Structure formats: structure tokens, C-alpha cells
Amino acid sequence: MNKFFIRLLPLAILVSAIAVGSAFGAAKKPVAKKPVAKSAVKPAPKPAPRPAIISSTQLKGDQAKFEQEYSLGKDSPINIVVHSAEYSVARVVTSGEMDFPMANEKYLIVKMTLRNPQPSELFIRYDSLKITAITADSVNFDCQNWVLTGGNSLSMTVKPAQKIEAVAYIKVPANENIPKLMFKSSDDLVLRYDLRDKIKPLVAPFADSSDPKGATALATVPGQLGAYCDLGEWDFKLDSAAYTTEPPKETSLNDENNHYLVISGSFKNGGPAEYYFRYDSVAPTVTTADGDDIESRGMMELASRHEWVALNMKKNQEIKVRIYFEMSKDVTPKVFTMKMQDGTRAFSWDLSTMSL
């Protein structure tokens, strides 16, 4: 090989290496990026809110608890929070209607919050969920009366996530302490509540003092002089009692040795509308010291006209009355009792404590 070419070869190799290195260096040089306008930057979409469903499956056993939210139903769920339970014998007035327990009944009242967990509107009424009170002997009593806390019957469309406050009234036996409560959806999913030691008891004068749990309601309740009592459709107040020989209109004493015991009091329409009221709308009775029951001879209205009671009474209207009982002057009246009819809860007053 030519000696001159051999001498030049290392120089050529060196020049080539420098050229290649320069090319690689140029490729690694950072390229300035064009700034992007803030308006063109789209924030990441927020996740859609999820309803606060605590439980979406059927509970086994008595697992549901007060103040805990549960979702009941698979196809059309409703969320439930039960707040409290209590016993009562007072009338229930809703949406122009009235109901009350009979003497052998009381109410189990359940207060709750309902919520729509669905993404669309939901129609809820009393039969959207079945509520059942269960006795210790496994006898079931179903709820027929759901009420909004505003006083209207439960029947409304609820928006997504909307909450409503509702009350369920369940008629149960007057002498039973209810240990279980069950909610059932239309697709037969169930919530069960253990009510033992969780129900607010009845109080005097409605509670039977012989029941330490306050779960037994009296069929005949001690009345208080001068205070209204709830007979069901009507309220009654006993004001005084006295004897007289003066007969009411178009009547006379059956025996000259008899006289009248006159009960003076007032009636008030306790319902939501106008109702017809007359002397036989109620069943007043006087029981003697010998245990005999005496029915009234009639009831007179103390108004501008002294007439037998027979009139339409508006809501909350009051009338004063006198109720006449004919009896021998030798008979001692002991107890006065007022009730609506057979089977309804009665109120009684001890006449021996009154000045006759």
C-alpha cells in the first residue's frame, strides 16, 4: 500500500468520528415546545356521585338498627332510616280521614326517614313497602296507615336523593309487647328490627300499672275532671254532677221516689271534617254501688234552645250538654263511664269523689 495513503488514514478516521459525534449531539438537543392556551386544557371529568346506599342486600336475622340507613329492594330500592318506635292509643287524623284503636288495640308508631336512591323520580305510598309488627308468638299485624309528618297520607313522587319524613301506624293488641318489626320490599327483600327495650312505653293514665314495661293499654281509662278525653271521633269533658227532680223536655219521672243524676259536660268534634252528632252517638253509663248499670234517659244541648242533641258539628266545634240518669233516691251512683259504642275505649270518673 502507498505509504502516503497509510499516513493519511488515521487522520480520515478522526475526522469521520468528529462528524458522527456532532450529528448525535445535534439529535439530542431539546426542541422548544409551543405554549398551550389555558382555555384549551380540559379538566378530567369528575366521577358521578353515588347514592349513599349502606346495604343493598337482604339482611339475615335481626340485624337492622335504629338510625342506620339501609337500601331495601333490588328492582326499585327505597332507602330507610328508622328513628324510633312508641305505643299510643290516640286517634290518627290524616288527609280528611280519621282512625283510632279499639279498646283491645293500641298503635305501634314507627318514625322514619325515606330516601330515593335511584337516578330517576320514584313514586312512594303506603304499599310501596310492607311493614309488619310481629308478636312473641309470631302473629303478624300489617301496617295500613302511613303518614307524612305534615299530616297527609303518604302518596307522593320523590326526586332523586330527596328525603321525606314518614310515620307508620300499626294496630297491635292492647296487651302485647311487640319484639319484632319487619320491612319487606315488593321483590321480597327484608329488613328486620329487634324492638326489645326500644319502644317508648305508654304513660298514665293509658298504661296499665300492672305491666312494668308499659306495653298494656287500659280498656277503661281514668278520666280527669274538667279535661277533654279522646273517645275516638269525639272528645268529652266532664264538668260536674248533681241531682234534680226537674225532668228534661217531654219526659217525666217513672216513680215519685226517683230523681235524676245530671252529668254536665262538653263534647267537641275531634275529627278533620263536619260530622253528625246526637244523643246516641255515644254510650254514657252510671254504675251504682251495687254494681248495676244505668243507661241515660237522654242528652240535652245547653244552647239558646234547650233541645235533645242532634246537629252537624263542624271541625273543633264544641257544645255543652246535660246527660240525665233516672234512679231511685236510695241508690248510690259510684262510677260514670263514657265511650262511643261497644268495643271502643272508655273513660270513667269516680262519682264518690264529687259533691252530690
Alpha carbons within 13 A on the beta-carbon side of 163:
9
Q: Cis omega (within 30 of 0) on the bond before 205?
A: yes
Question: What is each CA distance from 249 to 72, 267, 276, 299, 339, in whole angstroms?
Answer: 64, 20, 21, 10, 24
Locus of grid cell 265511650: 339
Cell numbers for 312: 252537624
Contacts of 296 (CB under 8 A, 6+ apart): 279, 284, 285, 286, 323, 324, 325
Residues 6+ apart with CB under 8 A from 34: none
Alpha helices in the chain (DSSP H): 3-28
Q: How far is CA 173 from the centre of its chain?
A: 17
How far is the C-alpha of 129 from the C-alpha of 117, rounded, in Å? 15
Tens of pLDDT along the chain (356 residues)? 444 334 434 444 433 444 444 443 444 444 444 554 444 455 555 544 444 444 444 455 458 999 999 999 998 999 999 999 999 999 999 877 899 999 999 999 999 999 999 999 999 998 899 999 999 999 999 998 999 988 899 999 999 999 999 999 999 999 999 999 999 999 999 999 999 999 999 999 999 999 999 999 999 999 999 999 999 999 999 999 999 999 888 889 999 999 999 999 999 999 999 999 998 999 999 999 999 999 999 999 976 557 899 999 999 999 999 999 999 999 999 999 999 999 999 999 999 988 88
Q: What angle do CA 162, 166, 169 make, to 5 degrees?
A: 160
Q: Give the predicted TM-score (pTM) of the model.
A: 0.81
CA distances in angstroms from 29 to 19, 32, 36, 267, listed in the order given: 16, 10, 22, 102
Nearest alpha-carbon partner for 147 in 92, 77, 87: 92
